[in-house]
Structure 1
């Protein structure tokens, strides 16, 4: 696990201003992924999986778009480019690969050349090995509600976009960590990814329990009207900047409702689309948020109040391209949006669904 991360107290205790919201509180766990070197025994984003050696690695067999995004690179190329970005400084010579990285680059180039021999099928026409997105142990993420004796959730995706929603296809696997014997040492990797943002950077986690409230779009019309009533905010004595006087509901949405970033549980981060309840394809139960896969842990000044105390100095400082402290996983989905994964609360083994929001 990573070091501790602490969300600052909310600028306003929202249920003191609007006690009507108290019944809508939900627990969530901010994962706070940060670059690191997780092992197969760690909860992680983009890290190695505790995958049984005797179990086939998941491949995506869906149809893949043949239109080259212009950004396609192998996962190894993406990681090496990022390593150079992290070392770049304007007052120093251009960084170069270390001997170990150069050897990796050469091995990767030979592998790519072998894959592209005459007569080989196009990379997107083959079953595509999926990439690890997250591995979550119940001991670290107690909000998980695994089926049976499972205590481990593994999430992977295909790094190609899929029609009709133009997003990676996801796969979920629940398992018991104690029942994994020999671990797969070298999982297969895809030939390429549509975008670098579909290659998660290995990150350790620092889970933190918080309480969330619904996105304002999910509130009843009556509650939305109350949030928009500036006189109600002022009468409560809440310390809200007068710049929000015309649209105080934006203060709620930005600082009080639900947290940005990677998280388990809580409420969905609607905004790109209006709320749309998801129902289980098997039993029609309304599904609940499982994991939010975020492009950013915080986004500029708007969500700066959510920056953990331990990251505020880095967030306030300057940085160069590819070094943003608010994008530790280097994941980008949609137009730097979120991917929300939903599961069935009646049976987590029922098919999940996901949306870009």
Structure 2
């Protein structure tokens, strides 16, 4: 990996204060995606995939929800580059020749759509967009089937009923078996929302230890982490402002890490825990990948890596938040959680917005 991100130590040693939680510790790998130019031979978010030239590119058959906010992925990426360029150089041109060309192409497409000449793109199979490519050498928590050493995840850039979220697809493969790479994968005519077009990002994987969100604890353990006297007796350095609601501090600073990650515990909060069961063997499924709208927010800024502290505290224009490096936004700035069967990675996966 080309760069490093380091999560600060947790302000409280969870198993020391709450030995009842020690057995619930889970490993996770924070991915720390940051904008860059990944190659097909690197782990990435939104980057190019090591996809065989002789294998059909995944398409989504629908049906698709059409909210009417569509833009071509190329225009979404161009607009992000333009905003970043103007942030670095406020005196620069409003549009470069390349940016102007992309805008003209987008305007022509819009005119075609309004004239109703071509079929609505959501009415036909839609090419899926790369979401993540993860090599097992970088993410050793992954449990690939057979000789596979590479996980590729894509999604449809349109919403799908009944939960109004992108449909996801998951592929395992052996990188050594890919001889000829698909050079120019197809892209969807448009994306439903800008947040469904991941910005190409390099990764800085970091292993951390997580504990379950308080919503995942049973009544007895919930009472334990909510008992302020337990925190005081252990000498935990927690602000007295949390005296009435110590479980909030536990959830925001000690339990599950925010942002993109593999493994660990689910980031409940927007919704209550919703167990998922394998459609083949009925085993309770486990978290594979968290696709996050933000790497941190005002409640979880204690997880900001040391290397990002200055950027997190700086001023930045809308759309350039250092906490949203991937440009992804699912739900109402929520997370999408992908789950897999612990008995067999080849069984169908599922996903939730939470």
Range of TM-score over shorter length: over 0.9
1:58-104 residue CA offsets vs partner (Å, 9 max, x unmatched): 00002012342xx2111011111111221334993474333344445
In 2, Cα distance between equivalents of 1:148 and 1:116: 49
Q: Judging changes above 3 Å, is the alpha-carbon distance between structure 1 residues 91 and 342 closer, same or farther for their aligned structure 2 residues?
A: closer
1:194 maps to 192
- 8 A contact 1:85–1:321 mirrored in 2: no
Which residues of structure 1 form unaligned runs of 5+? none
Residues 113-135 of structure 1 show CA distances to partners (whole Å, capped at 9, x for unaligned) of 77888653211001000000000
1:275 to 269, 273, 276: 273
3-state DSSP class of the match of 1:342? strand
Superposition map of 1:207-218 within 5 A: 207-218=205-216
Contact kept in structure 2, 1:87 and 1:95, CA below 8 Å: no
Q: 1:290 deviation in Å?
A: 0.1
After superposition, residues 32-111 of structure 1 pair within 5 angstroms as: 32-68=32-68, 71-89=69-87, 92-93=90-91, 95-106=93-104
1:179 match? 177
Q: 1:329 aligns with which of 306, 326, 331?
A: 326
TM-score normalised by length of structure 2:
0.96
Note closer, same or farther for the CA distance 1:134–1:254 as it changes in structure 2 (3 Å cut): same
Provide the secondary structure at the position in 1 that maps to 2:212: coil
Partner Cα separation in structure 2 for residue 92 and residue 121 of structure 1: 40
Residue 239 of structure 1 deviates from its aligned partner by 0.3
Q: Give the conservation status (yes or no) of the 8 Å contact 2:65–2:164.
A: no
- Listed as ranges, the matches of 1:270-309 within 5 Å are 270-300=268-298, 302-309=299-306
Gap change, CA 1:112 and 1:130, over 3 Å in 2: farther
With over 3 angstroms needed to count, the CA separation of the structure-2 counterparts of 1:52 and 1:292, relative to structure 1, is: same
Specify the alignment match of 1:245 in structure 2: 243
Report Cα offsets for 1:196-249 as digits up to 9, x if no partner.
000000000000000000011001110100111101100100100000000101
1:148 and 1:81, CA in 2 relative to 1: closer, same or farther beyond 3 A?
Answer: same
Q: Per the alignment, in what secondary structure is the counterpart of residue 20 of structure 2?
A: helix
Whether contact under 8 Å (2:130, 2:154) holds in the other structure is yes
Residue matched to 2:311? 314
Conserved in 1, the CA contact under 8 Å of 2:28 and 2:263? yes
* Residues in 2 aligned to 1:236 and 1:162: alpha-carbon distance in whole angstroms: 48
Counterpart in 1 of 2:25? 25
Contact 1:47 1:132 in 2 (8 A): yes
Structure 2's unaligned 5+ residue stretches are none
Whether the 8 Å CA contact 1:76–1:105 is kept in 2: the answer is no
8 Å contact from structure 1 (residues 341, 355) kept in 2: yes
Identify the range of structure 1 (75-84 vs 327-336) with the bigger mean alpha-carbon deviation.
75-84
Q: What TM-score, normalized by structure 1, do the two folds share? A: 0.95
What's the counterpart of residue 118 of structure 2?
120
Root-mean-square deviation (CA), in Å? 1.8
Q: Residue 156 of structure 2 aligns with which residue?
A: 158
How many positions carry a matched residue from both structures? 354
Tell me the CA shift for residue 107 of structure 1. 5.4
Q: Is the 8 A contact 1:84 1:95 kept in 2?
A: no
